Amino acid sequence: MFTDFFYILKKRKVPVSITEWMTLMEALSKGLISNLDDFYVLARAILVKNEVFFDDYDLAFQEFFTGLEMPVDLDDKFMKWLSDGKKLEEIMTHPGEFDMWELEEMMREFEKRMAEQNEQHDGGGYWIGRGGTSPFGHSGTHPAGIRIGGQSKGRGAIQIAHERHFKNYRNDLTLDVRQIKVALKPLRKLNRIGPEDELDLDGTIDATAKNAGDIEMRWMRSRRNAVKVLLLMDSGGSMEPFADVCNQLFSAAHSSAHFKDFKYYYFHNCIYENVYEDMEGQVLVSTDSLLHNLDKDYKVVFVGDARMAMSELTARYGAIYYYHRNEIPGIVWLKKLADHFTHCIWLNPEGERYWNHPTVQMIGQIFPMYEMTLDGLNDGVRKLIKKK
């Protein structure tokens, strides 16, 4: 009866294996699960291997166990019974047997009990009432019933899944500054460079021992990060909706202590003969000067939606702004950058489902393109540190 739950998990990209699913079925067959709360916790422990999928698990759980709280049209007599002034604290409740019904079966049973019931019931486990263990009514404790009126008092599995406490664990969400800093950290490449100003403790001990205990100091060069980063960011126009996340990326990279050198420039839609030191495009820097003055080992990160008119990418004088001479098409400049620097990636703030656009696809053939999510940035960083 839970087979559809397996397929809903797969649909939501939760990597559930057949072996794990059979382990859960074995737990069910041995009676280790007696209620929906147990099922929620144990199934998550068995099926979900990484906390980044906890939120997808909760969403799948909600989808499968549908209809557990819904508005229901009742006769006036039922509404009177359910709103009676009797104090709910006086109603004695006892844990009832766990019933797991499909939604259609539950609704059939609900209609049957409405037809049979002829008086108010509180505290029981069968009739439509309050404060009991019946799957129909409110203020009770049944883990998988239909709540009719009243307020949810318990914190069962459905409510926990609905609250989505693990939403921030997802790895496909838009980045924040802290996450970007953590993702950029693997770019570090520590080399021993500069003067010998750090004590070589092992070497000193070894030399002193060989010198009959007479201390002989040994020194070595400090380990310093040798990675250099060049950040090129599209600004304005269609990038306006993504200004915040681009600012966060810039802030994280600029404040990071992981890089030997960090340079950044702006462009609009595509790179032509100049890039800019400011977002307003007032301070120009020759693109040729970047190619001549920056070593090829800079790690280059482009940020942009790569979406523009074809003429802006492929035509001479096709730049959207008249003050670009643009005698060389933008795509040629991009290829020059790709040929000069050994490691380049393109971060796209738009989701991959929006990449079916001619210029996005053309730029994606020049630079490896990744979504600007935690997953995408992690994949991009791995690409940057991979040896050619």
Query: What domains does the chain contain, in order, with CATH numbers?
Result: 3-67+165-169 (no CATH), 76-151 (no CATH), 194-225 (no CATH), 226-385 (3.40.50)
| CA dihedral angle for residue 363, residue 366, residue 367, residue 370, rounded to 10 degrees | 50
Indicate if the pLDDT at residue 77 is higher than 60.
Answer: no
Which of 78, 73, 67 shows the shortest CA–CA distance to 116? 78
Amino acid 335: pLDDT: 97
User: Which range is least confidently modeled, 266-275, 303-312, 356-365, 378-387?
Assistant: 378-387
Determine if residue 242 is left, alpha or beta; phi over 0 gives left, psi from -120 to 50 gives alpha, anything else beta. alpha
pLDDT tens, 221-253? 665 567 888 989 898 778 877 777 777 777 777
| Per-residue CA distances from 278 to 160, 246, 272 (Å) | 47, 14, 16
The whole-model pTM stands at 0.50
Amino acid 324: pLDDT: 74
Which of 41, 44, 49, 57 shows the shortest CA–CA distance to 9? 57
Amino acid 153: pLDDT: 45
Q: Higher confidence at residue 326 or residue 308?
A: 308
User: Which range is least confidently modeled, 96-105, 252-261, 265-274, 290-299?
Assistant: 96-105
Asked if 335 and 287 count as a contact pair (C-beta separation under 8 A), the reply is no
pLDDT tens, 343-355? 999 999 898 989 9
Amino acid 171: pLDDT: 46
